[in-house]
Structure 1
Amino acid sequence: MPKNRVAPYRKPVAGLLAAALLLIAGCSSAEGGQGSRKRVLTTFTVLADMARAVAGDAVSVESITKPGAEIHEYEPTPSDLRKSAGVDLVLENGLGLERWFDRFVRSANAKRATLSTGVEPIPIRSGQYEGKANPHAWMSPANARIYVRNIVTALTELDPGNAAVFKANAERYEAQLAEIETFLRSELGKLPPAQRALVTCEGAFSYLARDSGLREAYLWPVNSDEEGTPQQIAATVTFVRENSVPAVFCESTVNDKAQQQVARETGAKLGGTLYVDSLSEEGGPVPTYLRLLRYDAETVVAGLTGGAR
């Protein structure tokens, strides 16, 4: 499967940024629609789904990236960049995830809110980003409740007249997140202690592993152009062998070739595709964030216990 990204934390090329500025400058503020709903833009599909759950019909919410996109170093296209014209608010993850978006959004003159504010970050433990915050905090339902509260605050400041709507929607959504958290702990807690090890391509499950009592190993810490090096593969093979891990996994937005090699060398099976950075299209396996969390838990349990999805 071809990769859909460039090296991590690389800034967009100058020509693309210049095109973005021209596009934004050429769009009038009326494009947002006088008297229409407020417009909110999120950096990726997971955040958009969470924001829509809180906003309901009161606010228009759109994602700059499309389902299936790799977000770490996504380069916006001209059509993507047009979405910023006239938006009232941008919701971003933070924790270093969307550095590709910074200069572009500053030029859009929109309010910004960082949804991971208040999350206790887990540091990346290896590679060139060692010590920096792991950005995948949304993979914890407990953290997701922090995201939801930050969304409520941002939307209420944007549209005070709908504050009661946002609060009521958020309360319902937090109840659903609590149910998912119970499900995750229950399902992953069924694993025998020796099988409570999650081996993935990217180190995107640190928060989920922490909350669910799983040991974690991965090939690379952050999606980059240094994926599946001989050193990464050798270290992962050692972990799988020493811990008798029955299955290894890879994420939907990356190439699983290196993980296939780990499986061949250890006798582990490929346990299935996990979703982290993007939802699927409608009709796909994870069209919502809540479904993403449940799907990943079911996939991990089935893979590690020998069950079928």
Structure 2
Amino acid sequence: MRIRLIPSFAAALLALGIASRAQADDKVNAVASFSILADMVKNVGGDRVVVTELVGPDGDAHEFDPTPADAKKLAGADIFFVNGLGFEGWMERLETSSGFKGATVVASKGVKALTIEEDDEHLHGDVADDDDDHDEHAKGEDHDDDEHEDHAKGEDHDHDEHAKGEDDDHDHEDHAKGEDDDHDHEEHAKGEDHDDEHAEAHHHHHHGGTDPHAWQDLANGEIYVANIRDGLIAADPDGKAVYEANAEKYLAALKKEDAAVKAAIGALPQSHRRIITSHDAFGYFGEAYGLEILAPEGISTASEPSAKDVAKIIRQIREDKIPAVFMENITNPKMLEQIAKESGAKIGGTLYSDALSAKDGPAPTYLDMFKHNVGTLTAALSS
């Protein structure tokens, strides 16, 4: 009897194996550009979607350099989720090299993008009129012709010299030698290597452009979720009911967390709502929740601040009695440690800006990231 059952049992196992493979093949193969976006896609896609992230936990999408393995991942995908707003400067190159034929979904479509500008003392954000303007910015066209002409008129050097990192009042040359009127800045200049290439990148980066970090406002996160839902429905119409139900549940959680963040930051004294972070990734957070965020680096981690900029930050911390500086999980902490030491501000902890933590870390999901960041901010600023 048992001998005659073995073929039937084997056939059943084979059938189960075939069914399992068929179910796996039926899943939507999605690639997300970075870990925060991948988590959103997982929440909306649920069991119908397999999600692969290109830039993983604690990774820096600004500095990401796709490999042939990444191109292979994208080549086999049904759908590609990207942030947009110029965040993934490598995206088009990767799509071309991979031969990707699927749909690309820009998760930030529809958000009111902020722009980054620089004045004499610090960076600030304004609402951009057109999200598409950043496509030109991503190609290096940060300034229009009129701005460039006006800027050139105020310089003692010609444009070629300025592009090499030379400041209008010769400060850059002096700072490179460690000669600054501010003694703290002199110490900093001696401890940091800011070559002309970095100065040039910093110059171009800070004088205007779209801020791509729109996910740092949970209201924008809701827009991301809606775009992800619609993209998955277009790729997999049979899963429409599942994607809509998952998105509705996830949106409710985002709304709840948004209210919690507003309440927590709103409880802080007004005088304690100014902080320093290493790069300017929290502009949307500041606009949405009432914090003023200052950053020595711009919206990208690809450039370093000049010694002059760092000296201005140090002076501003002292003058405005800014209580704390915060590290970021994707940036080198040495610069902020130097700023904290010279200014007297305390280091308030580590914030997660452009990437989640590993699964066993404090910010393994998008919602956990907000909970951790707000807890870290309020703990440091309420004391």
TM-score, with normalisation over the residues of structure 1?
0.85
> Per-residue CA shift, 1:53-100, capped at 9, x if unaligned?
000101111111221110013002333232112101100000001011
**AA at the equivalent of 1:68:** D
2:304 aligns with 227
Match of 2:107, as an amino acid?
L
Confirm or deny that 1:268 pairs with 2:345: yes
Percent identical across equivalent pairs? Answer: 36
Pick aligned residue for 2:74 from 67, 81, 84: 84
Query: Aligned letter for 1:115?
Result: A
Verify the 8 A CA contact 1:68 1:252 in the aligned structure 2.
yes
Write the letter of the residue equivalent to 2:245: A
**1:122 is matched with which residue?**
114
SS at match of 1:102: helix
Q: Which amino acid aligns with 1:187?
A: A
Q: 1:27 aligns to what?
A: none
What letter corresponds to residue 285 of structure 2 in structure 1? Answer: L
Aligned to 1:10: none
Gaps of 5+ in 1: 1-31
CA offset at residue 215 of structure 1? 1.4
Q: Distance in 2 between matches of 1:35 and 1:192?
A: 54
Q: CA shift at 1:208, angstroms?
A: 0.4
Q: Which 5+ residue runs of structure 2 have no aligned equivalent?
A: 1-21, 119-202
Which of residues 115, 135, 154 is equivalent to 2:231? 154
Find the partner of 2:317 among 221, 232, 240: 240
Residue in 1 aligned with 2:94?
Answer: 104
Quick check: 183-192 or 41-50, which moved more? Answer: 183-192
Task: State TM-score, norm by structure 2.
Answer: 0.69
Name the structure 2 match of 1:183: 260
What is the identity, as a one-letter code, of the residue corresponding to 2:102?
A
Q: Which one-letter code corresponds to 2:204 in the other structure?
A: Q
Identify the match of residue 56 of structure 2 among 63, 66, 73. Answer: 66
Contact 2:62 2:302 (8 Å CA) reproduced: no
Counterpart residue number, 2:44: 54
Deviates more, 1:282-291 or 1:76-85: 76-85
CA-atom RMSD in angstroms: 1.6
Report if aligned partners of 1:188, 1:301 keep a CA contact under 8 Å in 2.
yes
CA drift of 1:243 comes to 1.7
Q: Say if 2:213 and 2:282, in contact at 8 Å, map to a contact too.
A: yes
Name the larger-Rg structure.
2
Inter-CA distance 46–34: structure 2 relative to 1 (3 Å threshold): closer
Per the TM alignment, residue 103 of structure 1 is displaced from its structure 2 partner at its CA by 1.8
